[in-house]
């Protein structure tokens, strides 16, 4: 539990406190450790504090890259099988 941080979406902000939706559970989270945060941002929540904004674009790009490699290999494997047939 101690170093666990869970991603959640910022719903709204009131001063130092943001309401964050973490997989359907809404929690009040202190955002004083972040310079700037907006509703719609995904943040990593740890012991009631938002530690970092998750770079969604970075996340999607990494996933896309991984999936692209995976698909390429899959096609290569299926392709060579067909050739073998």
Partner 1 sequence: MKLVDEYRDPAVARYLLEQIRELCDGPLNIMEICGGHTHSIVRSGMEQVLPPTIKFVHGPGCPVCVTPTAKIDQAIALARRPRTIIATYGDMMRVPGSSSSLLQEKAKGAHVKIVYSSLDAVRLAVENPDSEVVFFAVGFETTIPANGLSVIRAKQLGLTNYSMLSNHVLVPPVIRAVLDDPAVRIDAFLGPGHVSTIVGSQDYEFIPAEYHRPVVISGFEPNDILESLFMILKQRREGRCEVEVQYSRAVTKYGNPRALDVVKDVFSPVEQEWRGIGAIAESGLSLREELRAFDAYHKFHDWMPLQRPEEPSECVCGEITRGVKEPRDCASFGTGCTPERPLGACMVSTEGTCAAYYRYQLVTVQTGGVRD
The alpha carbon dihedral of 71, 77, 78, 83 has a sign of positive
In the complex, minimum distance from the CB of residue 23 to partner 1, in angstroms, rounded to a whole number: 4
Number of H helices, E strands in the chain: 1, 5
Determine, following the binding rule CB under 8 A, whether residue 32 of this chain makes contact with partner 1: yes
Residues 43-82 that bind partner 1 (CB under 8 A): 44, 46-49, 51-52, 54-56, 58-59, 62-63, 66-67, 69-70, 73-74
Place of tokens 């973490």: 22
Nearer Cβ to partner 1 (48/85) = 48
């Amino acid at each position: 539990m101690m170093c666990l941080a869970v991603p959640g979406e910022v719903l709204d902000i009131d001063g130092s406190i943001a309401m964050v939706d973490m997989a359907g559970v809404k929690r009040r989270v202190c955002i004083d450790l972040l310079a700037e945060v907006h509703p719609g941002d995904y943040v990593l929540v740890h012991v009631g504090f938002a530690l970092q904004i998750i770079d969604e674009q970075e996340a999607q790009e990494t996933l896309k890259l991984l999936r692209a490699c995976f698909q390429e290999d899959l096609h290569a494997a299926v392709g060579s099988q067909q050739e073998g047939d």
